[in-house]
Amino acid sequence: MKLPPRYRLLVVFLCCALSGLSAQEILPRLVAGNDELITRARAVPVEASGFGSRGEAVRLLVYACGYAAPLSRFHRDATLLPEMEAIAAQLAAVQHPSGLFDVGNLESPPDTGFMLEALALAQTLLERTGDPASAAVQNRLRTLIRAAADGVATGGVHTPNHRWGVSAALAAADRVQPDPRYRERIAAWLAEGIDQDADGQYAERSPAYSAKVVNPALLALAEAVNRPDLVEHVRRNLALTWWLTEPTGEIVTLASRRQDQRPGAKVTIAEYYLPARWLAVHRGDARAAAIAAWIERDFAEVLVNGAFDPNWPLPHLLLDRSLAGPLPAAEAPPEDFAVHLPATALGRIRRGTNAATISGGSDHAAGLGVGSGLAMNPTFFSFRKGAAQVALRLTPAFFGTGFFYSQGLEKNGETWRLHERREVAYYQPLPEEYRRADGNYALTADGRFFSKLDFPHRPRQVRAVETEILATEKEGGWELTLNVTGQPGVPVTLELAFTGEGQLQQVTPLADLPATRLASWLRRGGGGRVAADTTGAFVLKEAVGRFTVGPDTIEFGPGCFTQPPGRMEGEDYTWVNGSLRAEGQRVYLTGVTPFRHVLRLR
């Protein structure tokens, strides 16, 4: 009998608790996977590899893991030594006098820090073999490490996570060649305080960077510089991550301020394996043990092939034999919950294999606009029913201001509320005290565009729209009440984007609408309107549509339609011919203010 998915994790955890599953069982798989990486890497000589410094530092670490691991078929294989020397020589040839490397960014301290960590781990692994045959490689590595560490210890950073990444790299270098300057620099970065909010999010709110950089770095620093308090930050972030974890293991990234907020980006729970196992073994954390056991069972291939980040577990398990011990008794995390994360303005609701995310925490709503380092994903609600998924976005066609971005998220009883008031001004003549005879007024922004009109000093006449969305769980699904009011006659477009290899029913292809050729949905070109790409675009005029993936179906409706859908991105994007098209097949509902519609998803 096939168990429902919601019970599979519980069975895994019970089996792990009964059998004493340990890294001694995952370690052979990791070593075997590393052996395959070595085999593939050796098929491409260093001189023909297109040499990328960071990638070659990782290659060297992969070789060192094989050389040091007793279970590896490359254990103490002397033929690896000249290849490691060749990699080290190539790295030395491109290292700047500062000790830093060009890795996309020029003479980059943080990117060099990631390389430094890999080189220092490789050096430590080779030292611990006690094999004098590797002495020449170790000597080359010491020279590389010293120069790189000196550059990282005096260099700067670009992003919040870099502080912890370079600190962990300096701690690894200090283990190889102790230097008080490295510890002084670590202390200076740590003195800035760890950028974690009340929800457990780090400042970048990025599951990818939390997993790949911040959590591994804080654990390394907790041990290296005797800061056990740093472990609590990792524990809190792992607890938060569980609330963001889908039944498939994918992590919700709607709130991210980094690249993983983009459509198509995927982060999975497997990337949290190292902190989960660390907390389980070294702190006896029962939930972390359950998460580690789940990853070992269902995501082992990710661990085996993921040798490109500081959270790659193999070198850590080889260096810390206690970390490779048995997992403690596991406690299955809940799969039925409704959690409000107020600092992030996120709601996460999960009922077994069904899950919903309500998002009101974008930086765009704070008036910061569009830019790297901001949370800008316009999805305000998403719903998963097994393998079927849908994400919702909404745009009032209001002076080209684009997507609805809620100004926060409220929870009132069983109802979640998203809300935004959007204002656009017409400007009156300047008061007399601000007038200039030469007409040369300051170039300022009015929130939509820039002009030499000294906007801040002008009286305004305001036009406004208000959007309110109420979301309530009902009958195993959701009911969303959408209200867009204020300025009358504003076209409204609601988009439902369905991802996965599924089939839509009861919808009309957008290309079949006679009026599509004239719709504002079409992209503007320099010579007027140009043909639109309506591939994968549909409308739901009335009744109820369906989206089916295998045995899972989402019903959505009723539909509504008053005009073809409008362009959704707004002038932030269209001014530079940009686009923020949603993934998958897209179904549109439309209306005009005052607009009220109740949409049901189940």
Per domain, the residue ranges of the chain are 16-324, 336-422+466-601
Q: How confident is the model at residue 247 (pLDDT cuts 50, 70, 90)?
A: very high
Span of 4-8, 196-200, 235-239, 587-591 with lowest mean pLDDT:
4-8
Q: How confident is the model at residue 597 (pLDDT cuts 50, 70, 90)?
A: very high
> What are 47-86's pLDDT values in tens digits?
666 668 889 999 999 999 999 999 999 999 999 999 999 9
- Whether the pLDDT of residue 316 is over 90: the answer is yes
Determine the pLDDT at residue 310.
76
Residue 558: exposed, middle, or buried by beta-carbon count in 10 A (0-12, 13-18, 19+)? middle
Strands 585-592 and 537-539: parallel
Determine the pLDDT at residue 523.
45
Percent of the chain with pLDDT over 70: 92
- Which residues are registered as beta bridge partners of 388? 385
DSSP state letters, 214-257: IHHHHHHHHHHTT-TTHHHHHHHHHHHHHHTB-TTSBBP-TT-S
- The pTM score is 0.91
Average pLDDT of the chain? 91
Q: Report the sign of the C-alpha dihedral through residues 107, 111, 116, 119, in that order.
A: negative
Determine the pLDDT at residue 49.
63
- Whether the pLDDT of residue 13 is over 50: the answer is no
Determine the pLDDT at residue 212.
93
Structure tokens at 255: 């709130």
Helices and strands of the chain, counted as H and E runs: 16, 23
- Which residues are registered as beta bridge partners of 483? 468, 596
Q: Report the sign of the C-alpha dihedral through residues 157, 160, 165, 168, in that order.
A: positive
Instruction: Indicate the length of the chain as a whole number.
Output: 602
Determine the pLDDT at residue 309.
74
Q: Read off the pLDDT of each residue in 286-310 and give the average, rounded to a whole number.
A: 88
Determine the pLDDT at residue 532.
65
Map residue 597 onto helix, strand or coil. strand
- DSSP assignment, residue 495? E
- DSSP assignment, residue 211? I
Structure tokens at 442: 């300051």
- Considering the domain 16-324, what is its CATH architecture? Alpha/alpha barrel (1.50)
Q: How far apart (Å, rounded) are the C-alpha atoms in residues 521 and 510?
A: 10
Element (H, E) at 414: none
Determine the pLDDT at residue 307.
67
Span of 287-296, 401-410, 474-483, 506-515 with lowest mean pLDDT:
506-515
> What are 88-136's pLDDT values in tens digits?
999 999 999 999 999 989 999 999 999 999 999 999 999 999 999 999 9
One-letter amino acid at 310 equals P
> What are 457-495's pLDDT values in tens digits?
999 999 999 999 999 999 999 999 999 999 999 999 999
Cα 367 to Cα 99, 304, 570: the distances in Å are 41, 43, 14
Q: How confident is the model at residue 575 (pLDDT cuts 50, 70, 90)?
A: confident
> What are 520-563's pLDDT values in tens digits?
444 443 334 445 678 899 999 999 999 999 999 999 999 999 99
> What are 399-445's pLDDT values in tens digits?
999 999 999 999 999 999 999 999 999 999 999 999 999 999 999 99
Burial code (b: 16+ CB inside 10 Å, e: under 16) for 52-80 equals ebbbbbbbbbbbbbbbbbeebebbbeeeb
Q: How far apart (Å, rounded) are the C-alpha atoms in residues 213 and 341?
A: 23
Residue 444: exposed, middle, or buried by beta-carbon count in 10 A (0-12, 13-18, 19+)? middle
Structure tokens at 296: 């070992």
- Whether the pLDDT of residue 20 is over 70: the answer is no
- Whether the pLDDT of residue 27 is over 50: the answer is yes
In the chain, the N- to C-terminal Cα span, in Å, equals 27
